[in-house]
Structure 1
């Protein structure tokens, strides 16, 4: 482990580590009234403060001759946009209930103490300063005559946006800090609005999830999970029988994407490496179960990575349940249904982590409902310049946006219909439709979701308007439109959000007129036991499309697995940290764990 840290440590040495006096402390007070409420069992429940029309909203619109840009959010997209926008042209205001940037890919590591929470946050007020701007932006600023002394910072306001009024070009906000009054509210007018508020966990309306499961979207979530794990082991140590201990130490993870897999892997490492010597009997009783709706883990990654991940986890303590749909979550169990056999069974659970995708937050759902042109339910529908359809001066970035890429499945309507019509009857019965969705799931991932819904719900009957038991071409078109409305053209990742933020700044600065094009640098995941899996895109991603096919093997993605991949994973993620302070702190966290193990104190 220590040897694997060497490349990481060498990378850090070249960075300036700020003095203590330069380090801005980030208040970690829970924003209970803003983004979370805590139930008696310590669970963080994300909430959205509703617009209060009984309050008086003070107009805080800046008095300026420059165009006013209001940015909602403090995540990847918002920060990259603000760090690259030309503030000589625009007056920029940032509104967010969270006054720090959070490096979300490390949240699974924070839950077990591999990385500390304060190592992956950075104050927004520090990130909008001149020193935090990228080198390329500083060079452009210099040519424009902007020096550090004359640089105009964006202003930050810690508040939650509770209403967006596109017709009036206005946002309504409320101060939701722990010391705010009940009606500390204000409004801001804008010339351009940039929405980068992320997304919330998608429960797919599964009964019991909101009441009984935990989520991993914010730093508070990781803190609660960490305390719950240690509480479980301490309480279990007071029980006499293995059965009593096991009831407290059964951890179930629903969702086998990067967050779910990495949390299960980190938890397994924590139990084996750090808790074994302290709680030997409890560790023997503990279980970690990972549930995947698909037959693969990390199904959006290369097949080699998926297979390697499954092999590593099968060699660990993690128990895999693949091809399984969760139908209900109770206080002490997860009810499952095997998609192949139809068998229903329950997994006992003292802690259930739900990690199965995202959906728009209520604020954004309200905006989507107001605008007829907003036909996507997976996020605010935007064109190739990230401008929202139906709104002239509103842009959306990151997890809350769905970029137009054509009506993918509808464009192949006739071809898909013919392919599905096995008996040549000119209509599709339920069996033919299921067969089609099963065949095209690799090309259209959302088809798998609809295949499951058709099997288990009454979706087929909803589109069979004439009740014939078969779908004609028009009914099939309506069904495909529904599938397309749920389809995301780009994954909800930090990589996508960051690139969109930088692109939109360039567009508004007048530095480009082209549409947004995503450059996929690769995908990585930690899979446990000091191993990782990495799919790194190299030559093909930077070549023009007409010549990509000529690159041959050199144009293919590089797939790495094992210990070498872990070194690459650490080096690349360390380089992605938003500040030099974060780089140094994360590196030192890894060194501490390698030398002394993870901290097992509950506080």
Structure 2
């Protein structure tokens, strides 16, 4: 039989309960063996046995063991106890420096025998008591633990799931299930570098399953939510909808592009929300270069080499800068384009670039990118898009085959189906991250409108760093409610913001201090490298970045992308 995992307090008590009799038995044997010379001090020895048993219980009894493995582990812990206590701590307490010499080992031989015997007896005793404890607990009626369901595999959802996973490992009685349409966490701050052929797509995506030890994962799409019955309908696999009951629901479905019903925009614009979006845009840009290299019609070649980005926030600014670097970095591969002048245009409805930053940093970014040759249309909106053009609100029309939209987002479709609370946008939540008017439903990330405590009318921005903290906070609050405690309001001041401007330049504010230029770029890379999930992903991205410093960017098309044109085929180079 293999004992199952007990709670922290039972493990501690079981360890003490086995350490005392094992210590007493070893003490008796040591006293008899010592004869007239006397054995160990009983008080000190029994205290030592109690501590040893407590440590043994905390380290070992919570894991599956057999009688033989418990005995072997006991011997090893006894040996470690002798090395740490007899050869190290007692020497330090005496005011000397541990030398671990052969003479000290020989002098402490009797203590070594006692420590190993103590461990050898404590292991099997602890195993036996743990088996009895498990049988006793198995006979008790156990109430069903609450089922916590997390919907969404982004920063907020995975942050909540990982925190709940940790809490369950520490003794929280709950079942946790994560439901997501993708089985990986996408590190979206680096998505533009996939589109610009700097990073490999797999290197910025981490499997959700690999991050969970005590939680279940369901790869599927939530079709509907019934808050009254606390039930979800999930489309998963090839079968019909599965019904999943929940006691507490965390909605973290993120956001999708919002095109404001502008004519032709949804049909002709490239989005930038997923790995597929980034790959499609990369292939579109490279295919445009390939076809421009063949094109004899000057107007069509100009159209192919014109790139328009809508949106002057972080995503749009970083994207236009990266696309500029990509095109100019690989242009030498296309002989007929050496004299060409690719055009990059960013259109933004606001009166200044990067409104998330201070005015001086926004101006710095604008000056830096303008000096590089990027055009800006501030205070201007896109009103229409077609297969070969984009029209602005000032009646200007730009002929282009590549138009990217980063100018608006809305919550995922599930939010609209949850109820009236999310009918007009993000779910309204209170300061504890609970959806107002709905019992047992919580929301974090881009799909939630989270108020800042003490500042009426202000809300936290939908950034990755906020979503991660919101996920952890909502998990702690659900655990607090499950334990009969009061949840805590969410508070987070933010560490700062950084935006890449391409060409090894960046700008931002970190802890209230302004950073820019190459130092800002190095800081930007260091920050995001540290935030990537897992050492493997950090190493892969670091290698990609190092290779980018030495080699030209990869121009291999990964799909049969063709850019539709109006020029007749007979005018193409062959």
Give the match for residue 530 of structure 1: 504
Q: Is 1:71 aligned to residue 150 of structure 2?
A: yes
DSSP-derived class of the 2:425 partner: coil
1:215-230 maps to which residues of 2 (within 5 A)? Answer: 215-230=271-286
Query: What is the aligned counterpart of 1:400 among 435, 438, 447?
Result: 447
Query: What is the aligned counterpart of 1:155 among 216, 235, 239?
Result: 216
Give the match for residue 111 of structure 2: none
Q: Which has the larger radius of gyration?
A: 2
DSSP-derived class of the 1:327 partner: strand
Measure the CA separation in 1 of the matches of 2:274 and 2:143: 35
Measure the CA separation in 1 of the matches of 2:469 and 2:338: 45
CA contact (8 A) 1:294 1:324 kept: yes
Change (3 A) 1:405 1:573: closer
Give the match for residue 527 of structure 2: 572
Measure the CA separation in 2 of the matches of 1:368 and 1:283: 57
CA contact (8 A) 1:383 1:389 kept: yes
Measure the CA separation in 1 of the matches of 2:240 and 2:152: 19
Give the match for residue 571 of structure 2: none
392-401 or 274-283, which deviates more: 274-283
Change (3 A) 1:118 1:211: same
Measure the CA separation in 2 of the matches of 1:213 and 1:405: 34
DSSP-derived class of the 1:284 partner: coil
Q: Is 1:602 aligned to residue 557 of structure 2?
A: yes
The structural deviation recorded for 1:241 is 4.0
The structural deviation recorded for 1:266 is 0.3
Query: What is the aligned counterpart of 1:186 among 242, 255, 269?
Result: 242
Give the unaligned 5+ runs of structure 1.
Answer: 1-62, 130-152, 339-343, 412-483, 538-556
Measure the CA separation in 1 of the matches of 2:289 and 2:339: 8
The structural deviation recorded for 1:185 is 2.1
Give the unaligned 5+ runs of structure 2.
Answer: 1-141, 559-574
Query: What is the aligned counterpart of 1:520 among 472, 494, 512?
Result: 494
CA contact (8 A) 2:415 2:423 kept: no
The structural deviation recorded for 1:357 is 2.7
CA contact (8 A) 1:376 1:402 kept: no
CA contact (8 A) 2:248 2:478 kept: no
- Choose between structure 1 and 2 for higher RCO, CA contacts under 8 A separated by at least 6 residues: 1
Change (3 A) 1:190 1:568: same
Measure the CA separation in 2 of the matches of 1:334 and 1:193: 42
Give the match for residue 92 of structure 1: 176
Give the match for residue 146 of structure 1: none
The structural deviation recorded for 1:285 is 3.8
Give the match for residue 296 of structure 1: 352
Query: What is the aligned counterpart of 1:489 among 443, 459, 470?
Result: 459
TM-score (normalised: structure 2): 0.68
Task: Note the alpha carbon deviations across 1:403-438, whole angstroms, 9 max, x for none.
Answer: 135998xx8xxxxxxxxxxxxxxxxxxxxxxxxxxx
Structure 1 consecutive aligned stretches of length 4 or more whose deviation exceeds 6 Å: none
Query: What is the aligned counterpart of 1:590 among 525, 545, 549?
Result: 545
DSSP-derived class of the 2:149 partner: strand
Query: What is the aligned counterpart of 2:472 among 502, 512, 518?
Result: 502
The structural deviation recorded for 1:195 is 0.5
Give the match for residue 197 of structure 1: 253
The structural deviation recorded for 1:492 is 1.4
Measure the CA separation in 1 of the matches of 2:476 and 2:555: 46
1:376-455 maps to which residues of 2 (within 5 A)? Answer: 377-405=424-452
The structural deviation recorded for 1:184 is 3.3
The structural deviation recorded for 1:250 is 1.4
CA contact (8 A) 1:304 1:559 kept: no
Give the match for residue 47 of structure 2: none
Give the match for residue 419 of structure 2: 368
Task: Note the alpha carbon deviations across 1:522-566, whole angstroms, 9 max, x for none.
Answer: 0110012210002112xxxxxxxxxxxxxxxxxxx1011100000
Q: Is 1:358 aligned to residue 400 of structure 2?
A: no
Measure the CA separation in 1 of the matches of 2:153 and 2:273: 14
1:109-128 maps to which residues of 2 (within 5 A)? Answer: 109-128=193-212
Measure the CA separation in 2 of the matches of 1:407 and 1:199: 27
Measure the CA separation in 1 of the matches of 2:524 and 2:400: 31
Give the match for residue 516 of structure 2: 561
The structural deviation recorded for 1:309 is 0.5
Q: Is 1:263 aligned to residue 319 of structure 2?
A: yes
Measure the CA separation in 1 of the matches of 2:375 and 2:509: 25
Task: Note the alpha carbon deviations across 1:466-492, whole angstroms, 9 max, x for none.
Answer: xxxxxxxxxxxxxxxxxx7xxx71221
Task: Note the alpha carbon deviations across 1:3-25, whole angstroms, 9 max, x for none.
Answer: xxxxxxxxxxxxxxxxxxxxxxx
Q: Is 1:310 aligned to residue 373 of structure 2?
A: no
Task: Note the alpha carbon deviations across 1:55-100, whole angstroms, 9 max, x for none.
Answer: xxxxxxxx98111001101110111111111223210011111000
Query: What is the aligned counterpart of 2:226 among 165, 172, 179?
Result: 165
The structural deviation recorded for 1:247 is 1.8
The structural deviation recorded for 1:283 is 7.0
Measure the CA separation in 2 of the matches of 1:580 and 1:332: 44
Measure the CA separation in 2 of the matches of 1:70 and 1:225: 34
CA contact (8 A) 1:506 1:512 kept: no
Measure the CA separation in 2 of the matches of 1:376 and 1:307: 37
510-519 or 90-99, which deviates more: 510-519
Change (3 A) 1:276 1:291: farther
Q: How many residues matched? A: 408
Measure the CA separation in 2 of the matches of 1:158 and 1:375: 24
Give the match for residue 439 of structure 1: none
Task: Note the alpha carbon deviations across 1:151-187, whole angstroms, 9 max, x for none.
Answer: xx10001000010110110000002xxxx43x43201
Query: What is the aligned counterpart of 1:348 among 390, 399, 407?
Result: 399
CA contact (8 A) 2:196 2:322 kept: yes
Measure the CA separation in 2 of the matches of 1:283 and 1:499: 50
Task: Note the alpha carbon deviations across 1:353-393, whole angstroms, 9 max, x for none.
Answer: 11013112222112233xxxx27723000000100011110
DSSP-derived class of the 1:315 partner: helix
DSSP-derived class of the 2:382 partner: strand
